[in-house]
Amino acid sequence: MSHAPHGPRALDAEGLAALVDALVAAGYRVLGPAVKGGAIVYDEVASGKELPRGFTEDQDAGRYRLGRRDDEAFFGFAVGPTSWKRFLHPPDLLRFRASREGHGFAVEPADGAPTSLALLGVRPCDLAAIARQDRVLLGGPYADPAYAARRTEAFVVAVQCTEPGGTCFCASMGTGPRAESGFDLALTEGPASAFVVEVGSSRGAELLGRVPNRPAAADEVAAARAATDAARGKMGRTLETAGLKEALQAAAESPRWEAVAGRCLSCANCTLACPTCFCTTVEDTTDVTGGRAERWRRWDSCFSLDFSYIHGGSVRRTPSSRYRQWLTHKLASWHDQFGEPGCVGCGRCITWCPAGIDLTEEARAVARGPVPAKAARKE
């Protein structure tokens, strides 16, 4: 039996499955975690049975291993290689098609707005990342209509973090492990796949009223809060942010940039996995007859040589200059632009770097500055 929610509510495993069914019935395209290709990724989810129940993973710098848990938890893992950026700010987006017609041509507009999206299992760090993309792509006088079409009506079901991964450091960035707003519903998973549910919007309350739920007991609410509080001390990484912006901006000539460039492959994995990187390029294509053309917007990366190309050549020719640009923008100049860092501490750039380069380690090393000669001899 369904109940109109008042205060924290509780769901069991059947209630979670009913929640997915209710989102599908409401016309949403439900996106959530799924096991594919040896990793937990975000993909379309047709029912609660498709969620990666009983799975976990082991993450460290340049390392990701999928594994099984000792229990049947639905969300007993951290974040994987994909982020919600893939759906809200797609990697490939058709802007228009043009076809030759006689002595002229006809332009077909881009595909229409997509089906309303429901994002299921959004971690607090990713919720913060979506807010950062909102500020970039929706704020200011020139909002991105393609992003707005996907984002404005998206239904967000967050999952509070109780088991951070080996490369997580959201506690250092102030983006987790608990979200207090920005969601329609937020779940905290407890023992035996019992969930404490927080309602964050009127439509969240309305949807929750369609599925079996009950009032959460006081001890369940306290246990859920304690679990997220405990997660702060279980982060695999930390980053001291006090004074970091100023230290990075004063370290343009640090020898550490060359040191990290000796390992960096300029593969752009970090920017592609990052949930806040937003850079794009435009690509025009034609068929072999010249009768049809398309314009696409595609993800781009500041790690590519062509990214900073202007007339006469690339501004950032070396891997060291490109790594410096990325790290300094993410942790320093983003503050100047948007009043907050561009990093949310999800750790994806560390896990999915094939060279195992650790953002937290590099930021500390650059901010600390070169070791004096006497100190270096003593070490």
DSSP assignment of 260-317? HHTT-----HHHHH-SS---EEEEEEE-TTSSEEEEEEEE--TTSGGGGEETTEES--
Q: Please state the rounded mean pLDDT for residues 232-254.
A: 95
Q: Please state the rounded mean pLDDT for residues 49-70.
A: 95
pLDDT-based confidence at 5, cuts 50/70/90?
low
User: What percent of the chain has a predicted confidence (pLDDT) above 70?
Assistant: 95
pLDDT at 114 over 90: no
Contacts of 308 (CB under 8 A, 6+ apart): 302, 314, 315, 316, 322, 325
pLDDT at 111 over 80: no
CB distance 249 to 284 below 8 Å: no
Helix (H, G, I), strand (E, B) or coil at 195: strand
Q: Please state the rounded mean pLDDT for residues 151-176.
A: 96
pLDDT-based confidence at 7, cuts 50/70/90?
confident
| pLDDT tens-place string over residues 307-317 | 988 888 888 99
- What residues does 36 pair with on adjacent strands? 39
Contacts of 376 (CB under 8 A, 6+ apart): none
User: What percent of the chain has a predicted confidence (pLDDT) above 90?
Assistant: 85
The larger pLDDT score, comparing residue 369 to residue 255, is at: 255
Helix (H, G, I), strand (E, B) or coil at 68: strand
| pLDDT tens-place string over residues 216-237 | 999 999 999 999 999 999 999 9
Give whole-number Cα distances, 102 to 92, 99, 290, 365, in Å: 30, 10, 13, 63
Give whole-number Cα distances, 327 to 2, 162, 246, 334, 366, in Å: 49, 28, 13, 10, 10
Where is 137: in which H helix or E strand? helix 124-137
Helix (H, G, I), strand (E, B) or coil at 33: strand
Cα first-last separation, the chain:
67
Q: Please state the rounded mean pLDDT for residues 51-68.
A: 96
pLDDT at 278 over 50: yes
Would you state the pLDDT for residue 6?
Answer: 63
Residue 152 backbone dihedrals phi, psi, to 5 degrees: -60, -40
Give whole-number Cα distances, 150 to 12, 84, 111, 146, in Å: 30, 11, 13, 7
Q: How far apart, in whole angstroms, are the C-alpha atoms of residue 227 and residue 237? A: 18
The pTM (predicted TM-score) of the whole model is: 0.92
Would you state the pLDDT for residue 99?
Answer: 92
pLDDT-based confidence at 369, cuts 50/70/90?
confident
CB distance 80 to 57 below 8 Å: yes
Would you state the pLDDT for residue 370?
Answer: 61
Instruction: Give just the sign of the alpha carbon dihedral 61, 66, 70, 75.
Output: positive
CB distance 170 to 346 below 8 Å: yes
Average pLDDT of the chain, as a whole number: 92
